[in-house]
Amino acid sequence: MNHEDALIRALAGGPVSLQALEHIESCANCRAELQALRDLESDLAAAAPVWNPPALHEGRTLSAMSRTRSLPGRRWLALAASLLLLLGLAAAWREVPRQGPASLPYGSAPAYVSESAGGGFWFDPWEEGTGGLLSAASVLAEAIPETPPDDVDLYLDPYANGEWDG
């Protein structure tokens, strides 16, 4: 045990280990230091000032105390903030257009698809009018017509010429 540990234990009161006691008993420096610190403690206690507030302090403070309102706890504040955030997101979602371009000719994909570098899918969720990821999916669905127009030669109908009739 070092000097400081022993002194802290002895000065702070409470149960002091035998080891600390033995150290202080055997160490003249620690004994002198402990005594000096205890004297200082007494001087400090005696140097405590007396607080004399002005006569009006009590009335003024009691008046301020009676006007106080309880503040909401942090949990309630956090809950209120979360609700506000959800409401804000819901409102923003309602304002965003759900549809992509009104009509697209067959064979042309929306800009989000065809102009991507290297032909991969590109989508900017923050681009005005795209309406987020779900809206992007609906734009893609619209870009691919359910039935092809008549003038497309590449479309193969396996049943057209009876090739599969057997």
Residues that bind other proteins (CB under 8 A): 4, 7-8, 11-14, 36-37, 40-41, 43-54, 57-58, 60-62, 64-66, 68-74
| Residue carrying structure tokens 């400081």 | 4
Q: Cβ closer to other proteins: 37 or 144? A: 37
Please give the Cα distance from 10 to 81 (Å, whole number): 51
| Structural Rg of the chain based on CA atoms | 41
Contact between 152 and 106 under an 8 Å Cβ cutoff? The reply is yes
Q: Whats the size of the chain, residue-wise?
A: 166
Q: How far is the CB of 73 from other proteins (least distance, A)?
A: 4
Shortest Å distance, C-beta 88 to other proteins: 26
**Closer to other proteins at the Cβ: 47 or 156?**
47
Residue closer to other proteins, measured from CB, 75 or 94: 75
CB of 38 to other proteins, least distance (A): 9
- Min CB(40)–other proteins separation in Å: 6
DSSP string spanning 25-76? HH-HHHHHHHHHHHHHHHHHHHTPPPP---THHHHHHHHHHHT--PPPPHHH
Nearer to other proteins, 57 or 98 (CB): 57
DSSP string, 65-119: HHT--PPPPHHHHHHHHHHHHHHHHHHHHHHS-----S---TT---HHHHTSGGG
Closer by beta carbon to other proteins, 11 or else 84: 11
Instruction: Give min distance, CB of 54 to other proteins, in A.
Output: 7
